[in-house]
């Protein structure tokens, strides 16, 4: 039997009324962190944060819609097919004018990934 897991986003476990999809956990990925975030239009409550404590880098991949990444006094429009990498010590937040679905991937350079849940 093939060691393959195939699932649609809507089949995966989610929290926050489907706004945070536990992609890593649902697929059984153990080598890196990965979730899907679905933010509605006009969203401005994304917590400003960094990962200075755990050293995790993050990459955001826009699957659908559009968002704006804010970091270090600058802003970048993220549209479908756009990828953005944010360093661990960089505080960042995300806002939306229209809704967005993003794949968020994270890991700590030089350190084996340890799933939180």
13-62 pLDDT tens trace: 999 988 999 999 999 999 999 999 999 999 999 999 999 999 999 999 99
What is the model's pLDDT at position 75?
98
Hey, where are the domains in the chain?
Answer: 32-107
For residue 117, is pLDDT > 70?
Answer: no
What is the model's pLDDT at position 104?
97
Q: How confident is the model at residue 113 (pLDDT cuts 50, 70, 90)?
A: confident
Q: Looking at residue 12, what DSSP letter applies?
A: S
Report the topology of domain 32-107.
Jelly Rolls (2.60.120)
Distance of CA 65 to the CA centre of its chain: 14
Question: Is 101 in contact with 36 (CB distance < 8 Å)?
Answer: yes
CA distances from residue 51 to 57, 86, 117 in whole angstroms, order as listed = 7, 10, 18
66-80 pLDDT tens trace: 999 999 999 999 999
């Amino acid at each position: 039997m093939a060691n393959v897991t195939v699932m649609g986003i809507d089949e995966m476990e989610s929290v926050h009324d489907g706004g945070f999809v536990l992609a890593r956990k649902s697929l059984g990925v153990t080598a890196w962190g990965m979730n899907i975030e679905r933010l509605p239009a006009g969203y401005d409550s994304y917590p400003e944060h960094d990962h200075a404590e755990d050293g995790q880098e993050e990459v955001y991949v826009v699957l659908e819609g559009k968002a704006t990444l804010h970091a270090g006094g600058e802003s970048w429009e993220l549209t479908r097919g756009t990828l953005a990498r944010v360093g661990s010590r960089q505080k960042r937040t995300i806002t939306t004018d229209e809704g967005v679905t993003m794949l968020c991937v994270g890991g700590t350079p030089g350190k084996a990934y340890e799933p939180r849940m």
